[in-house]
Amino acid sequence: MYRLFAGIDVPDSIAQQLLGLCGGVPGARWRRPDQFHLTLRFIGNVDGGTFDDARYALARVGGAALDLQLNGVGNFGEGRRARAIWAGLVENQALVAIQARIESALVRVGLDPEPRKFKPHVTVAWLKNPDMDRVRGFLAHNAMFRTEPFRADAFHLYSSQLSHNGSIYRIEESYDLSA
């Protein structure tokens, strides 16, 4: 079994800026720099045949290199249901178009459509029963977070292995985006 997702790597310089956000919310499970990425499509647990189908489908996606920039912070969920703190991205229609092509390619090979609307972000922390006053304080304090632009000239098919120290990601396949 493989636990898969398609995503974009965050350059080291951007990961270091994200690392600077990590703190101030007791009980949050802050991500390590090697865990920062922009998920384009969570695929989930699949068998070897579906893994191969996904690899080949993604090879046909194509697209141009992307100029991306992180901007602002937010969270998913409210109250006891709050589950993540994230850094958002400046709106980018080319990114949305590539994500839509990835979604379409994976549905064509038999995967269920993603029911959630695409919200480009990099997860900074996972939450479990957080103190929402502290989360709101974190969001207010970091509302102006913004990185320099960075170029994404590839996206990847990652496998994810869950461990006691957080997820361990491995790039299974890379797909160039032309300049």
Segment 142-159, tens digit of pLDDT: 999 999 999 999 999 999
Q: Provide the pLDDT for residue 81.
A: 85
DSSP 8-state assignment for residue 128: S
- Position 4, amino acid: L
pTM: 0.94
Q: Is 92 within 8 Å of 66 (Cβ atoms)?
A: yes
Q: Provide the pLDDT for residue 165.
A: 77
Give the chain's domains with CATH numbers. Answer: 2-176 (3.90.1140.10)
Distances (CA, A) of 113 to 42, 59, 92, 167, 169: 10, 19, 22, 24, 23
pLDDT greater than 90 at residue 167 = no
Higher pLDDT, 80 or 66: 66
